[in-house]
Structures are given as structure tokens and as C-alpha cells.
Amino acid sequence: MCGLAGEIACTAHGRADADRAVPMLQAILHRGPDDVGSWDDETGAACMFHARLALVDSTGGKQPMTNFSGDVVIAFNGEIYGFERIRRDLERRGVVFRARSDTEVLLQLYLHFGPDFVRDLEGEFAFVLVDRRNGQTMLARDRFGIKPLFTSVRNGLLLFGSEAKAILAHPWAERRLNLTTLNRELHGVFLPQDTLFCGISAVEPGSYLLVSRGGIATHRYYDLDLEAAGTSRLTFDQATEALEVALTEAVRDRFHGDAPVGLFLSGGVDSSSVAALAAATSIRQVSTYSIDFVGTAESERAAAAYAADHLALRSIFLEVTAEDMERAFESSVWHAETTVSNAHGTAKMLLAQRAKREVKAVLTGEGADELHCGYAYFEHAALLSDAAAGAQQRTLSQFLAHHGPRDGVLGAITPNIRTLLAGDGPGCGPGGVPYAAMRGYVAGRGLRFMTSADFRRQVKERPHQAVLDWLAHRSPGARRLDDVTLSRFVALHTDLPHYNLGFLGDRAEMANGLEARLPFLDSRVVDLLWRLPPQFHRRNGEGKRVLRAVLARRLPKTAERPKRAFLTPPGPSGDLLRGALAQRWLSMAAIRRAGIFRPAALAAVRQFVAASQRSRSMGFYLSAHLTTALSAHLIVDMFCERFAETLSRRAAMSLGELRARLNRDRQRPVPRCRPYG
């Protein structure tokens, strides 16, 4: 919905300076094309900036917003669902509202209940709230990290921003690659606090920070109930009914606001389920937006057209060619702020650009696979656990004959590796093993050949152990879960917020000022799916069984479709790696300058890719390595070596224009609302 940035004093000597921090807002103007605003405290305790995408109360929701006395100020990014009901409850308590925005509701909730009000919020959000009465600032992020929020401590100040580039734009920024995080990403390991840049961390999902001149304290307000996993006593039919009710309510809630809302539709089970319920509940004319990879067997067009036609929805297809991908790849990496192994985020960014011409928000299907065992690697985890316990390995062999890297499955993971990682050791007590740790363990074999000696000397950590250590610190009892449930838990807290909701979600969409809303991450849906027994999720190779049963009532043909990961097809991916962009950024000079990979190794991989046409699995795996290297070299150039130049070229407004606009805004009073009572 919006972009946030600013400074907060976190020591006695820190002093915020809004004039110094203006470049932070410049870096994220794409997130809020409708308006900009600023606020700063005369004592130097804090300053904040806001770039607004107006979806609710476009005239009365200007931010940052203060209470009537000016003692409390908030800048908010996201949506709060059901805020109208909360507003009515507050009005019965005597609160007088000035406008219609959910931002004002958040402000009044804080005034009435303090920081703990965040526990009951339903929505996708990140916000910063300064309370001048007690010298304390609250920074909060939603349960699953749908909306981003990053921080960095510099010279007695906590810098914050909706994207890492907001902090990198600050004059005090370090702009240096975090090699430990990069090594984790190369191993397929994503931890929730990680970023690719030294000194910059993400606020973890489901938590908030309280910042004052006395320091920074972290509070976790939400977590999945480990004891509740798989405990539901519902029958399969009852679970189907319950899911349809919960998901219908979640879809209906996400059509709120004053701006038009559309749907991303791939024709798969997740997005088609959202579309089917939207068609049944929305009173608006709903448009769907889908990608057509022109001339490839993997195009979504046929499946998406079938779903849209049967649901009587207006369907719009964006034809994406290899040339489109090459033109947009560099821009997508700039917005992603992370390495990427496939150009699917580039395609998603182009789709968001098309959708933004007609709508300001879209509903998407993210989150369903992690909650509902949609990925094939969940079945792989179960088979590995069974084989390690002595079951026959024939079923495992049969599974691997039909699944590979394109499905997120690594055949190099063996039952012995699973047993090894389940053993005793620091941070690695006996019990369940998450697939992310096994994936990180086997990835290291090939990377020893790929990465440079200098890079390996600087990075000593074993990424698979980092997963287990993080898990032991964050949720000590989680290893009691079975491997599949534990893998779901880890995926929901690591891969989902970092990659799926970040690179494939928020960054691709907000690059165009388009907001995504995620019905599957509604608390009612999450709680229901988390409590269902494992066989309701996956059995005999079929994933998302309950969701398929819901969809079968409206789109029986789509409900039978096998899971297919959203990836750029081999044709466009191969063309990208043979094009001019790859020739430049995978050249010997570029490889040596970045210092991450061995030039001879990347040259050999490029030759192998060209010669591996008969092996789709091997070709995909090697192409992923090259795409990762391509994106890593672009990140070094854009963020570490030439950040100021890149920002100047890509920003929506010059720094001079932005300063002039903010000065005009400062001449108008900051919007205020009356305190409760």
C-alpha cells in the first residue's frame, strides 16, 4: 500500500534529522505514487516519511497522522480488515473519528490499549508509531511478513524503511554485501531477519520493536501453536465446509476499500480457489490478470482462461516474451534486493505493471502451499523420514523418478543425511528435521566447486546448521514435530516471507505501486489448516486435498490439476542466459570483479547448460546457478558499487523535486484525529 522511512533516536546522543533523511523517501517513491508526507520531532527523537498508495479514504487518510494533541504520530503501510467494526466498537467507547481511514483506527487502538493492540489485528501491515508522551516508538510487522520493514542502527539512530534501499540511500549507509547471508541464499537458506546488506535486518514477522533513547526491545506477539498442529477432530467433509466458510470470509474482506481490486489468476488450485470464491461473493465486476509465456508449453493461458470463463470473470492476459524478460530483469533485481534463481519474479513484475493500469490492488494465492503441503518436497520429507526409520526405499525411488529440482526436490538428499541431521549436537538435538536444513546441507557440495576460494575463506558458517540453530533459539520445542509439519513451520517463517512474499510478492507488485492481498494468510484460514491432520493435506501424492475438495464444487477440472510451480519456462530462461545482459554480467571481467564465483566454474556451467538439452532436470538446475550468479553480480554493481547513480536513474522523482514537494506539504498542518473519550 505505501512506503515508510525515517530515523529514531535509540541512544542518549542520537538525534534524528529529517533533512538528512529525505533520500530514504526518494528510494521508495514507487511504493506510494499518490502522495508524500513527512513529520519530525523538534527534540530530534524521530522523523518519518510516508509515500502513499491511497486505497481507503483518499482525502482523509493523509500520513503521517497524529492524534488531536500531536503527542502520538503514525505512518502505516498495508490494510486492516474489519477495521469498520473496530471503529464502531471504539465509537461506543466515546472515540470521535475525523475521517474514514484504517490508519486512524490503528492510532486510536494504540491510544486505548497500548502496544498489545497489535495481537488482534487482521491484515497485512507494517507501521511505525511514535509516542512522544513516553519517548517510545513502536515498529510492527504482520504475522507472516506480507508487508516488509527493515532497520539498521547507525550513530545512535535506528534507521527504518519499507525496503532495504531506503536505508542504503541514507548518507550513513554502509552499502556492503553481507557474505554470510549471500552464502545462505546460495544454499537455499532464507532466515527471516536476513538481508544481503551488512548492518540491515528485517523486523521478524509477528513481532514488534519498542525503541527509546534507552535502547531497542523486541517483542513477539504471534506464533503458530506447536501443540495444536494436526489436532483437529473434524471429519474431511467438515473440514471442507469449514475451509470454504473461512476462505470465503477472507476473500470478501479483501475486497474492501475505495479503489478497484482484481485477481492474479494462474489457473492453478490456489489462485483459482480465490477466483471462484471472489466470483461468488463480490458485487463488483472482477478482472483477472494472467501471464502467457508466448509459444511455450508452460503458458498459463489455457488453464487461466478455463477458470475465468467458467466463473464469468473478465480475463486479461499479458504475453511475455524472452525479450521482455531481458529488458526487465535488471529492474526486477533492483526491486527484489535479493539473488534470484529464476526470472519468474521478472514476469510477475511485468504482470503487476499491466494490472496497475486498471486496479490498485489484487488478490493472490500465496501461502496456500506452505500451509497445505502443496509442494512436492513435503512428500519427499515424509518419504525420507520413513526410509530413515527402516521403511522400504522403493517408494522413495519411485517418487524421485518423477520429481526433481523444478519441483523443489533435491534427489541428493538421502535417508542417511536425514539421520545425520537428526542426531545430537549443538542446536541439533534428536527429532524432526526440516527440509530447508537438508536442502542447505546437500547444496554445499556443488557450491564448493562454484564459489571462489576467497569467498569461501571469508564465510565459515554452514547454512544448514544456521537453520537448525535459528530453530533451536526461536522455537525450542519445534523439533518434536514430525518432519513434514516441521518443514511447514520452517517454510512459513523463512522461505515464505523472504522469497515468496518478498521477491515474488511485495517487491514485484509494489515496484508498480500495486498492493497484493492474501486470503490464505487470514488468521481464520491459517488456524484451520494448521490444526488439520496431515492426511487431510497430502496423501498418495496428492497435496492440498481439502482445498481441492472446496474448489471441486465450482471448478472440478481445475481441482484435479497437478501442482506446478510458477517458474519461467526453459525457453525464455535459456534465452535470457544467452542474451546481451548475461553476456555482460557473466563475463570473465564481471565474475572477477564481484569475486563470488570461480570464472572457470561458471564458464563450465554455461557449456553444460548448452549441452544439456536432453536433461530438463539438469538443465533447470544449472540454469538456476547461472541466474543466481547473474543477479548477484547485478546486486554488487547496483547496491554496493554504484548505488547513488542507480538510485538517481531509477527514482520516480529527483531529490530536488522531492524536497520542494515536502516543503509545500510541511506548510499544511499534519492530519490529526481526536483522542478516545
Predicted local distance difference test score (pLDDT) of residue 541: 81
pLDDT tens track for 603-654:
998 888 777 655 566 778 889 999 999 999 999 999 999 999 999 999 999 9
Q: How far apart are the C-alpha atoms of 597 and 456, rounded to whole Å?
A: 10
Question: Which is it for strands 46-52 and 2-9: parallel, antiparallel or unpaired?
Answer: antiparallel
Other CB atoms within 10 A of residue 646 CB = 18
Q: Do the Cβ atoms of 1 and 261 come closer than 8 Å?
A: no
pLDDT tens track for 71-95:
999 999 999 999 999 999 999 998 8
Q: How far apart are the C-alpha atoms of 123 and 116, rounded to whole Å?
A: 15
Side chain identity at residue 340, one-letter code: V
Helix, strand, coil shares, percent, the chain, to 5 = 50, 15, 35
Predicted local distance difference test score (pLDDT) of residue 1: 64
Q: What is the DSSP letter of 100?
A: S
70 and 170 assigned to the same domain: yes
Q: Give the domain-ending residue among 562, 579, 607.
A: 562
pLDDT tens track for 362-388:
999 999 999 999 999 999 999 999 999
First to last CA, the chain: 30
Residue 137 is assigned to a structural domain of this protein = yes
Coil, strand or helix at 548:
helix
Question: How far, CA to CA in Å, does 137 sit from each of 201, 212, 423, 493, 509?
Answer: 18, 6, 43, 25, 29
539 and 590 assigned to the same domain: no
553 and 595 assigned to the same domain: no
Q: How many CA atoms, within 13 angstroms, populate the side-chain half-sphere of residue 211?
A: 26
Q: How far apart are the C-alpha atoms of 104 and 101, rounded to whole Å?
A: 6
341 and 412 assigned to the same domain: yes
Question: How far, CA to CA in Å, does 227 sit from each of 76, 232, 234?
Answer: 33, 11, 17
Residue 661 is assigned to a structural domain of this protein = no
Q: Do the Cβ atoms of 78 and 116 come closer than 8 Å?
A: no
Q: How far apart are the C-alpha atoms of 387 and 356, rounded to whole Å?
A: 49
323 and 389 assigned to the same domain: yes
Residue 622 is assigned to a structural domain of this protein = yes
Model confidence at 296, pLDDT cuts 50, 70, 90, reads confident
Model confidence at 570, pLDDT cuts 50, 70, 90, reads confident
Q: What is the DSSP secondary-structure string of 390-435? A: T--SHHHHHHHTT--GGGT--TT--HHHHHHHTSSSTT--SS---H
Residue 656 is assigned to a structural domain of this protein = no
Does the pTM exceed 0.75? yes
455 and 527 assigned to the same domain: yes
Q: Do the Cβ atoms of 254 and 81 come closer than 8 Å?
A: yes
Q: Per-residue pLDDT for 664 more than 70?
A: no
Predicted local distance difference test score (pLDDT) of residue 427: 43
pLDDT tens track for 109-128:
999 999 999 999 999 999 99
Q: How far apart are the C-alpha atoms of 105 and 586, rounded to whole Å?
A: 51
Q: What is the CATH number of the domain that holds 144?
A: 3.60.20.10
Other CB atoms within 10 A of residue 108 CB = 25
Other CB atoms within 10 A of residue 516 CB = 25
Q: What is the DSSP letter of 597?
A: B
- Share the mean pLDDT of the chain: 91
345 and 268 assigned to the same domain: yes
Q: Do the Cβ atoms of 658 and 27 come closer than 8 Å?
A: no
Model confidence at 539, pLDDT cuts 50, 70, 90, reads confident
Q: Give the domain-ending residue among 509, 528, 562.
A: 562
Q: Do the Cβ atoms of 436 and 404 come closer than 8 Å?
A: no
Q: How far apart are the C-alpha atoms of 120 and 136, rounded to whole Å?
A: 21
Other CB atoms within 10 A of residue 503 CB = 24
Q: What is the CATH number of the domain that holds 500?
A: 3.40.50.620
Residue 216 is assigned to a structural domain of this protein = yes
480 and 388 assigned to the same domain: yes
Closest to 639 measured CA to CA, from 324, 345, 336, 344: 336
Q: How far apart are the C-alpha atoms of 10 and 46, rounded to whole Å?
A: 9
Q: What is the mean pLDDT of residues 564-583?
A: 87
Residue 668 is assigned to a structural domain of this protein = no
Predicted local distance difference test score (pLDDT) of residue 665: 54
Model confidence at 668, pLDDT cuts 50, 70, 90, reads very low
Closest to 292 measured CA to CA, from 267, 311, 270: 267
Evaluated on CA atoms 253, 560, 505, 524, the torsion sign reads positive
Q: What is the mean pLDDT of residues 394-401?
A: 91
Predicted local distance difference test score (pLDDT) of residue 58: 63
Coil, strand or helix at 658:
helix
pLDDT tens track for 230-288:
999 999 999 999 999 999 999 999 998 778 999 999 999 999 999 999 999 876 789 99
Question: How far, CA to CA in Å, does 404 sit from each of 73, 77, 619?
Answer: 51, 38, 11
345 and 481 assigned to the same domain: yes
Model confidence at 195, pLDDT cuts 50, 70, 90, reads very high
pLDDT tens track for 401-436:
999 888 899 999 999 999 999 984 444 446 899 999
503 and 609 assigned to the same domain: no
Q: Give the domain-ending residue among 546, 562, 578.
A: 562
Predicted local distance difference test score (pLDDT) of residue 10: 98
Model confidence at 572, pLDDT cuts 50, 70, 90, reads confident
Residue 522 is assigned to a structural domain of this protein = yes
What range does the domain containing 598 cover?
Answer: 570-648
Q: What is the mean pLDDT of residues 589-611?
A: 90
Residue 657 is assigned to a structural domain of this protein = no
Predicted local distance difference test score (pLDDT) of residue 616: 65
pLDDT tens track for 27-86:
999 999 889 999 999 999 999 999 998 776 666 678 999 998 899 999 999 999 999 999
Q: How far apart are the C-alpha atoms of 170 and 13, rounded to whole Å?
A: 19
Q: Do the Cβ atoms of 197 and 175 come closer than 8 Å?
A: yes
Closest to 530 measured CA to CA, from 500, 486, 475: 486
Q: Do the Cβ atoms of 639 and 165 come closer than 8 Å?
A: yes
Predicted local distance difference test score (pLDDT) of residue 463: 96
122 and 257 assigned to the same domain: no
Q: Do the Cβ atoms of 280 and 248 come closer than 8 Å?
A: yes
Q: Do the Cβ atoms of 333 and 638 come closer than 8 Å?
A: yes
Tally of domains within the chain = 3
Predicted local distance difference test score (pLDDT) of residue 392: 78
31 and 102 assigned to the same domain: yes
Predicted local distance difference test score (pLDDT) of residue 60: 65
